[in-house]
Structure 1
Amino acid sequence: MNTGLILTLIAFVFVAVALLSGKIAPSVACGVAVVFLWLAGVIDMTEVFANFVSSNIVVMVGMMIVIAALLKTSILANIAGLVKKSKGNSIRLLLVIGMIIPFILCQFIGGVTAMITVLPLLIALAAEIGISPTLLVLPASVGAQAGLMALPIGGAAAMYLMKNQMAANVGSTEALGFWDLCLTRLPGTIVLMVFVVLVGYKLLPKRALGDAEALDHKPDVLKKSQLPKWKETAAYIIFFGSLAAMIFSAQLGISNAQISTIAAFLCVLLGILNEREMYQAVNWSLIFMMSFMLAIVTALSNSGAGDLIASALSGVFGLGNMVLIVAIVFIVCVVLTQFMDNMSLINILTPICIMACMQNNISALPIICAIDCSCLASFSTPLASPSSLMAYKLGGYSMKEMLKFSVPLIALSAIVSIIWVPLYFSFR
């Protein structure tokens, strides 16, 4: 075992422990590991910083700026207005609203913010028609969790590029398409929501909220736009236009990085955002974490550490049956993600599983998507996600109540994903 391999394994274990424990900021943990590998000579300066100018990072930065411009419009206020107008007297209608609206909001804002935004409206509607609010809080968490990175919008528009970059950094020539991550997750999302609306809500307790103070600090994201009408219209055109252009980028002969860059600068040139707002729109900690994580993936490939770890998984990936492999990967991930951050888990497992697939001459694409689909089910425990923790506190649920509601959902999510993901790629 050579020195580079040992040092890379040490760095990788450090990052894995740091990310899963949450004791060190993800960007800092990845940065420390990369600097360590750079000083040790495992990777050179070009490999350390190359990913900061990769197309996927450029797309993420550009679309973060475009999303910031979109949030200066009245789009969220309009969505809230639709919720207020939905004064149906059916628990099922409120459940649909309670899951769909956080799902949509999560394309623009975080899961907890989406829940804080929509729950006061839902609770008011529930009181108006005499429905217990605890029937709505956990379903809202399901909608928020299912919505994270679910659609190729904003930063999520670069997620498939990020995973393709991970694959390229370890020597794989396989690549996900623009819609693959979305289309492999969508059936599971639909089944979960349908189950909650028809049956799942009956598994929840009926009582008052446990901690209503959690809603006291509602963020001011529902205010009406202060932009002139033409600038607000321009923001909508830029957002939806850039999305359409990305979908048809191959036909247009222009890359996603070029599209997102043009869209971002249009937002500033037209005065929708000023220079300071443009820089503040970028989640720099996420950019640094992703860029350094890709450098670590390169180190895993260069040193042979990735091959060593992947070899340990050959018992699973050498089974030859893609449905069985997807089943094992999904079940392992869905169990682990109930107790740790799902995005950290995805970033750690994806490159390793790609290498294991390469060693066993099987396609890594279904496995990549199976890992991604597992984040649909991060709502069984307070540790599963921030939105799950908020639901736990706000609804005053016990662990038994959360599990009673979520276990059937996880089982459905597993069944749908295990069947659908391999089937999707067999026809792709």
Structure 2
Amino acid sequence: MRTRPLKVALLGCGVVGTEVARIMTTHADDLAARIGAPIELAGIAVRRPGKVRDGVDPALVTTDATALVKRGDIDVVIEVIGGIEPARTLITTAFEHGASVVSANKALLAEDGTTLYEAAERHERDLYFEAAVAGAIPLIRPLRESLAGDHVNRVLGIVNGTTNFILDRMDSAGAGYSEALDEATALGYAEADPTADVEGFDAAAKASILAGIAFHTRVRLDDVHREGITEVTSADLASAKRMGCTVKLLAICERAADGKSVTARVHPAMIPLSHPLASVREAYNAVFVEAEAAGQLMFYGPGAGGSPTASAVLGDLVAVCRNRLAEAKGPGESAYTRLPVSPMGDVVTRYHISLDVADKPGVLAQVAMVFAEHGVSIDTVRQKGKDGEASLVVVTHRAPDAALSGTVEALRGLDTVRGVASIMRVEGE
């Protein structure tokens, strides 16, 4: 074993960073044995140096992150500060000064991963980011390495634990959205500002990363269709149950049947209770990968939290350090297919539509005519009327999303339709 330690700089020492520092210290001997050389935590960049951090040596703490990554003797930089800047500049600076990088920054990778990949390639250094998607679940490395010889057609999964917890509580306990969100906040699953989770931004960033790796093309965050769960109601969950389904916020990345384009989307959807994703409870994540040779693979586990995320960071650290010792480099960006990202309107899917209508003869015929005019076939209809009012629940066959959206807009224009109570896609069948 080499006796000179590999030096590691840590950017950020919040929940994840503190856990990374703790594991590096308490498991130093094991990590050294697995790597083939000891590792040394050479510095920790933070914004608030006076904050007490259990198990962290105050002598390592600095507020000058730029100086830390410019030292020149740093072998690996771990970035867990998040956000776009200064993270992007710090990472590219680290590459320029000879360090490889381990990052958990999904937002930056989705927004401008190309800049990071190009900098890593230019300076012949590693960029690893297992922790950016689905916490401790091994997902990035299987896609980049284990399935590198296969042809991935679809990635489908639950990649945000906060929204899964909320929807699970609405389904299992009958809670309303606000009540379930309050519970998620009290338990620490939801941030004080839950927008990134409940509006789907977090899941969309992860979908961008997964689609890019799975299909060997560049998929930016802006390419991902995004809808959150704030409009999901208890009535939606009840309708799903009547269909033998439940509701999940899904990230869906697909290669077109002709192989000439890809799509990436995040939105709530009804899925059958028989589907394995329907049984994913509370704040857990699960992802299906469908490949031509391997078939269908499922990855399941805790998708967030200090310890699970730190586990993924440390796994990357071991891999990168081994590469440094071997004077080798791990996989970089693979975007050779250059496939375009099709708009959401091209996606073929099914809809569950709930309408408030007048309870009088001919309404159903009018509604059916609108579907026919837009080329959307109806699978089932359920009607319930009382005191001059009625509700219609229509489930469609598969059709282009643009046709389904056009159908809904036309329905809103009918005098006999008093309102479109809810619209939800049906997936996983």
TMscore range, shorter length: under 0.3
Larger radius of gyration: 2
Greater relative contact order structure (CA < 8 Å, 6+ sep) = 1
Q: What TM-score does the superposition give when structure 1 sets the normalisation length?
A: 0.26
Higher strand share: 2
Higher helix share: 1
